[in-house]
Structure 1
């Protein structure tokens, strides 16, 4: 297997050495995917799909991009997404395991060093984020000092890399921007992560120049999407701008992130500051679906939807969220649970309502969210022992073959009892409004919905189970 990769890299390097005497710029991208979720990889740039590339019988591919537009490209497999920086005459191979997607990703070939740097910084950023959450409990001055130190450490690593290897101006710009936007995001999340319930007080305690960098932020430059941390910054920035706006006309001391007023403020600010359709529509969709999936007051769904529909220009997004609101409305507490069709481990079909004879918690999983699959099943093992009065039904949402589903459960030594998969995944996911994947639905013994959107990892989940038992 390693020999195959070495041969491919040598061949691609030979191709790369031939500069085609002035012909169009190009780059090669190839790879091997272990434990694939599908038989193809989707290659995109700036949200435009370039091609859907099939995997061969060994789950490998090699693809040549002609007329290369240098920059960050996205390759996706299943629900997993990662980026790669491609410049003229790069010939990059990667190898990854879907069970550990980002951590297993390693690049080889011409152009690999800069991409291994970027992926390592991406993984380091995930570690730093956890540290920043703890630092948010410091006072603003101490917090600034600590995140400045993190930023300086990243800048030193970049300086060392640039001194060791010949880097392009494009790489330098992207790498430095990732550092800067990570730093900006740390500042934007400070009021939200700080433990104080009085967010107004937290905002008022910040130094006047705490957000001075905002004067240089560009909201409408679509090329900024090539910076890995830019999208995260925008989301955090608009959360924070809306918080400041909200407190101008609200007297609330305790902040509620599913407040209708706050979320309407957020959509209005996006609408006022962002004119680029791609950036604007993505933000509007993200904030609206986040509200809809967290909101427990269904009466507010229609209001937020109408605000979204008046601002977004994406027809597909409008259809998706309109349908989502309709599904959520059908899943109100007190409604009958839809009798969706399931298949059990013996490949026998049945309606879910025939399986419910006592209080039941229904949870979902996908091969594309492998960590959640394992963590949720382990959590349910604990809950079953504590609450034998309740049935726990697991449903796999994937549209893949029966054997893959069973093999995954067996490989992880999870019993097949109360394990099901959708007979019609797309239709069932729409009916049950399954987003996010952590959603759990609580049903009483009469198939009546008690809660259609809870989370088994929430602090009050066991209280909900006790309430279900005592109904």
Structure 2
């Protein structure tokens, strides 16, 4: 083969690859064994982008002109799971609803990032019982255990990044899942430790126990609907509210017995810390639902609702 022809072939291959990378069209499909519903719904945040019906072979497909790069999720009653989608992606999945998460496998573009996210999800589920035992430990020992679990996952992610072509966005989502999951356990530690050890007050913590808080991003648009991030925010705001009142309020009423006072603290913290609309609305809604589903005096409920409307009057969930 002469050099001119060889260079021409290389040029054509490069041009084809460039075209493939630049296309914005997205394909997402797959097969569901033992389906529990006739359709699959694809979401970005709380917005349903499209619905795909299963065919006679229990296969579905979505074809989108483009997507808002980042975290999405798909729903097949009664289960849901995340999928990272970026412009130009072509992704297939296969799962069996008998073991929905355990059987789920992604293939195609971004398969490495999506399979990694799923592996971390399953690892976190498996570690729950172990971490619950760790809450018996003293603060420094507990932190070392949690950091060890976190570092193993970060090493796995770094190894994957050297073997696969992960986008910057996919890398950030995967890392955030690891980091914020470990932060959840540290936010929860003082309360679980107190309960498990039967102590009368919150255990003294090392001055640097919450140093990770300096790295918190309170308004990360891409993570607003990501469970590790959202659940962290709930634990974090609960912790801050408790400690803020414990150390600064003049009232002598025990906060555990004064749900109104405690939840007023939460509302004010959300108002001061969270500016991203979707996350802000969802956190306000979570506090309201949690409080209103618990028994309290009617006059207290009226006070809470009034303050809720003052701070979150335009909440998208206001009519719920």
Residue number in structure 1 paired with 2:6:
none
Change (3 A) 1:212 1:18: closer
Change (3 A) 1:188 1:28: same
Q: Distance in 1 between matches of 2:122 and 2:20?
A: 39
Q: Kindly indicate whether the alpha-carbon contact (under 8 Å) linking 2:267 and 2:308 is maintained by their aligned counterparts in 1.
A: yes
Number of aligned residue pairs: 300
Residue number in structure 2 paired with 1:137:
136
Residue number in structure 2 paired with 1:267:
267
Q: What are the equivalent positions in structure 2 for 1:22-33 lying under 5 Å apart?
A: 24-33=23-32
Change (3 A) 1:224 1:315: closer
Residue number in structure 1 paired with 2:256:
256
Q: Distance in 1 between matches of 2:215 and 2:284?
A: 22
1:38 and 2:37 correspond: yes
Residue number in structure 2 paired with 1:108:
107
Q: Distance in 2 between matches of 1:296 and 1:282?
A: 22
SS of residue paired to 1:108: strand
Change (3 A) 1:93 1:71: same
Give, in angstroms, the shift of residue 261 of structure 1: 1.3
Give, in angstroms, the shift of residue 59 of structure 1: 3.2
Q: Kindly indicate whether the alpha-carbon contact (under 8 Å) linking 1:75 and 1:83 is maintained by their aligned counterparts in 2.
A: yes
Give, in angstroms, the shift of residue 110 of structure 1: 3.2
Residue number in structure 1 paired with 2:50:
51
The TM-score, its normalising length taken from structure 1, stands at: 0.58
Unpaired segments ≥5 residues, structure 1 = 1-16, 321-471
Q: Distance in 2 between matches of 1:93 and 1:257?
A: 51
Give, in angstroms, the shift of residue 303 of structure 1: 3.5
Residue number in structure 2 paired with 1:211:
210
Specify which structure has the higher proportion of helix: 2
Which is higher, the Rg of structure 1 or of structure 2? 1
Give, in angstroms, the shift of residue 307 of structure 1: 2.9
Unpaired segments ≥5 residues, structure 2 = 1-15
Q: Which has the higher contact order (CA 8 A, sep 6+)?
A: 2
Q: Kindly indicate whether the alpha-carbon contact (under 8 Å) linking 1:42 and 1:53 is maintained by their aligned counterparts in 2.
A: yes
For each residue in 1:44-96, what CA deviation from the matched residue of structure 2 results, as whole angstroms up to 9, or x when unmatched?
22333321222223332111222233211111223432111123432211123
For each residue in 1:418-466, what CA deviation from the matched residue of structure 2 results, as whole angstroms up to 9, or x when unmatched?
xxxxxxxxxxxxxxxxxxxxxxxxxxxxxxxxxxxxxxxxxxxxxxxxx
The TM-score, its normalising length taken from structure 2, stands at: 0.83
Q: What are the equivalent positions in structure 2 for 1:388-407 lying under 5 Å apart?
A: none
Q: Kindly indicate whether the alpha-carbon contact (under 8 Å) linking 1:174 and 1:226 is maintained by their aligned counterparts in 2.
A: no
